[in-house]
Structure 1
Amino acid sequence: MSSSFHSDTPLAQRMRPTSLDAIIGQAHLLAQGAPLRRLIEQQHLPSIILHGDAGIGKTTIAMLLADAVGRPFHALSALNTGVKQLREVLDSKDSLSFAAPVVFIDEIHRFNKAQQDALLGAVESGDITLIGATTENPSFSVNNALLSRCQVYRLQPLSSEQISAVLQRAMTEDIKLKSLNIDLQAEQFISELAHGDARKALNILELAIQTADPKQTQILIDNELVSRVVQTALVRYDKDGEQHYDIVSALIKSVRGSDPDAALYWMARMLVGGEPADFIARRLVILASEDIGNANPNALLLADAALRSVQSIGMPEARIILGQVVVYLATSAKSNSTYNAINAAMKLAEKDASPVPLHLRNGVTKLMRQEGYGAGYQYPHNYPNHYYPQSYLPDNLVGTQFYKFADNQREQHSKQFMEWLRAQVASNE
């Protein structure tokens, strides 16, 4: 294998599709009758945001859309473009041209408000057609004014079969690869490692070819070679991006739904992706109160103990503690009764500021006592079963119920105890 192979254009770049029909995947946008296909057929290209993971064709689609409607194409990256450079591009439109140029902004979510505002005027006036690409949810990362002037299209990660098709195309169409005698046995393994990212799959293939023994007449790309090249699974997990929140959500919902296996899987994804163990533990403490509550008060104690243990021990041993607590929480009885109760109480408290009844006030001075502070209050411990039925709410809220006993054994036991207390008082009247 010649050394020039290593310094040439990367395989992923060489295999970039040159027409919309050559794109593998994204049929929901590009197939006959799909939204982007219809736009091209009508020779109409509005400002759009392409939203999806890395390596699934956002840049390629942007370039080919501009080409399909015959527009000039300017590509910028939000990583290294300031307001000054952005304005230079926006001001460079040819006054004799009737077609608005397409300005492609990669990672548009990284633009600050001033940069996004600089785009807004040009988009509004029609001086440019904006195509923004982002791995983040545009609802949170693009300001509303700009977002409202763009169509948003979500791109999907490629399936294993589509990644395999990308690899096979490279083997049969790339001028360099088809000149080599390659036995690709690790196609499925590469597809799994790529996690829907075509560029990553091609990079793995190219790296494996470059790493293979050049003395062999046939280049064998098997699972062992790919594992040696990659070393660890290329886990797709952005700790600061949307997927961070998606996987956290999946973990919480799996525990809430009493599925310990799914909960372990999503938590493992977070740990392997480098998520700090104490962040996971803090979320589990919240869950233990919100979703389990008084159905099993021990859940909160265990989750809190896990948080303190994880903070003092750290990874990799912290995974053991987290594994224990997530299984315990997932298999515990569930109740959100106290969560609902405090939310209801706070909602009322926002609009009601009734004074504290006099008998509940603390008469610490003679003047306060003369004004009736504490008068009539009955000390419950002076009565049988340490209970005395008196009002603890303001007069206008008497009878208001925030907490409702849920239908689990522990809370129903507490309900029966409360009913028994009231019955004892009634029987003694």
Structure 2
Amino acid sequence: MNEPLAERVRPKNLEEYISQNHLVGEKGSLTHQIRRGTIPSLILWGPPGTGKTTLANIIASESGRPFYTLSAINSGVKDIREVIDKAKQSGGLFTAKNPILFIDEIHRFSKSQQDSLLGAVEKGWVTLIGATTENPSFEVIPALLSRCQVYILNAFGKEDLETLLENAIKKDVQLQKKKIKLKETEALLRLSGGDGRKLLNIFELVVNSEETDAIVITDALVMGKVQKNTVLYDKTGEQHYDIISAFIKSIRGSDPNGAVYWLARMIEGGEDVKFIARRMLISASEDIGLANPTALVLANAAFQSVTTIGYPEARIILSQCAIYLATSPKSNASYMAIGKAQQSVRQTGDLSVPLPLRNAPTKLMKDLGYGQEYKYAHNYQNNFVEEEFLPEALTGTSFYLPGGNHREKAIKEFLKNRWKDKYEL
């Protein structure tokens, strides 16, 4: 009876679906498959409230498939097997009408739960559609991920969100009874954090709190009605990205106070410890690198520790690691080196491996000169031969340029002693 607005105006077909044109627009990567009903198993990855569940429902409806749904929050292996058994009975094997099994928040499934899906997906008993807000590379087991296509849903833009509001006013039976004018939308959009569902929930709260049927939506009205209803930290919305950005930039800027403050904001908001620790792992290599290689070791130890321990004790380990990274010397030389090397590969293409560097496991390869003239460094003074290991077209190229910190100055001296002019920096 009290169905929320977001559910009442949920799109029923592709024509009503808003945004994600790269997937379901006229030339979208999924449009043709949906029309033909040839749907692969897939993972929909995107921020909350961007239409993942809606799209799964539309795919099932447009393709005429039986549709089963599970939530990773309250489903176990037994539930999965029961649904798969029902799906096997309702659809023929390897037919165009294979049932669709939709799993919301699939990243919350354990390894054993995900394992229980493998056989059904591989044998074609079901077409799996998983929805996740987390990077599936980290949260979905490789065996299952390899059997699915990953499609990314983008956060709603301003125009998308305003279209959602306008459509709700025009199409919802309850809102049609009122005279609603959208004079200002900035507060609504900001509070929603790009989450369409949250936007409609806030909008409905504001509308229902007005005693009159003639309502003019202004920023002041919205903020006055919502007041303290917004949380300090929304781990599923825009702040999720803004605060982790501030946290990493504090570490990069060697400000332990800033790092600990933003860390506290995330902890108080219940942020996933693995998400925080994973970002510190990246920072340890990207921002600190060879200036202090121990930073990566400590960050990895912190990741393993907090994954095992969880809150509340994990906050201590996260704090220790964040302060250590913030107070470490900084270097992005390794990060820059791989970037330059990748750019070179894209520009120069598939350059041949020089003959002396090639492996020669067969007599034919040896006869062709593979591995010949290779000089074994350990047979020479200082375990070094002044011969480059790059393709000929890249001779003299330096991708890695040591930073000016204490440790990399020693690396620079080592390279200058070996390579002379190449590292006269």
TM-score range, shorter chain: 0.5 to 0.7
For residues 104 and 190 of structure 1, the distance between their equivalents in structure 2, rounded to whole angstroms, comes to: 30
Q: Superposed, which structure 2 residues align to 1:9-408 within 5 Å?
A: 9-92=3-86, 93-94=88-89, 97=92, 98=95, 99-212=97-210, 214=211, 216=212, 218-228=214-224, 229-231=226-228, 232=230, 235-237=233-235, 248=244, 251-252=247-248, 256=252, 270=266, 273=269, 290=288, 399=382, 408=404
Q: Which residue of 2 aligns with 1:298?
A: none
Match of 2:181, SS?
A: strand
Map Cα deviations across residues 299-342 of structure 1 (whole Å, 9 max, x no partner): xxxxxxxxxxxxxxx9xxx9xxx99x97x99xx986769xx9xx
Letter in 2 for 1:108: I
On the 8 A contact 2:403/2:409 being kept in 1, the answer is no
How far is the alpha carbon of 1:286 from its aligned partner? 6.2
How far is the alpha carbon of 1:34 from its aligned partner? 1.3
Aligned-residue RMSD, C-alpha:
4.7
For residues 111 and 414 of structure 1, the distance between their equivalents in structure 2, rounded to whole angstroms, comes to: 47
The structure with the larger Rg is 1
On the 8 A contact 2:290/2:407 being kept in 1, the answer is no
TM-score by length of 2: 0.61
For residues 143 and 396 of structure 1, the distance between their equivalents in structure 2, rounded to whole angstroms, comes to: 45
Task: State the aligned residue count.
Answer: 318
How far is the alpha carbon of 1:163 from its aligned partner? 0.5
How far is the alpha carbon of 1:181 from its aligned partner? 2.1
How far is the alpha carbon of 1:28 from its aligned partner? 0.8
Unaligned runs of 5+ in 1: 1-6, 295-313, 341-394, 416-429
Letter in 1 for 2:198: K
On the 8 A contact 1:74/1:102 being kept in 2, the answer is yes
On the 8 A contact 2:66/2:91 being kept in 1, the answer is no
How far is the alpha carbon of 1:288 from its aligned partner? 12
For residues 201 and 146 of structure 1, the distance between their equivalents in structure 2, rounded to whole angstroms, comes to: 33
How far is the alpha carbon of 1:188 from its aligned partner? 2.2
53-62 or 95-104, which moves further after superposition? 95-104
On the 8 A contact 2:333/2:401 being kept in 1, the answer is no
Letter in 1 for 2:164: V
How far is the alpha carbon of 1:396 from its aligned partner? 9.4
Residues 399, 188 of structure 1: CA spacing in aligned structure 2 closer, same or farther, 3 A cutoff?
same
Match of 2:118, SS?
A: helix
Q: Which residue of 2 aligns with 1:391?
A: none
For residues 244 and 191 of structure 1, the distance between their equivalents in structure 2, rounded to whole angstroms, comes to: 16
Letter in 2 for 1:185: K
Letter in 2 for 1:94: Q
Identity level (%)? 44
Map Cα deviations across residues 366-392 of structure 1 (whole Å, 9 max, x no partner): xxxxxxxxxxxxxxxxxxxxxxxxxxx
Residues 414, 130 of structure 1: CA spacing in aligned structure 2 closer, same or farther, 3 A cutoff?
closer
How far is the alpha carbon of 1:187 from its aligned partner? 1.7
On the 8 A contact 1:100/1:127 being kept in 2, the answer is yes
Match of 1:127, SS?
A: coil
On the 8 A contact 1:160/1:188 being kept in 2, the answer is no
Residues 245, 146 of structure 1: CA spacing in aligned structure 2 closer, same or farther, 3 A cutoff?
farther
On the 8 A contact 2:107/2:132 being kept in 1, the answer is yes
How far is the alpha carbon of 1:267 from its aligned partner? 7.4
On the 8 A contact 1:105/1:133 being kept in 2, the answer is yes
How far is the alpha carbon of 1:56 from its aligned partner? 0.8
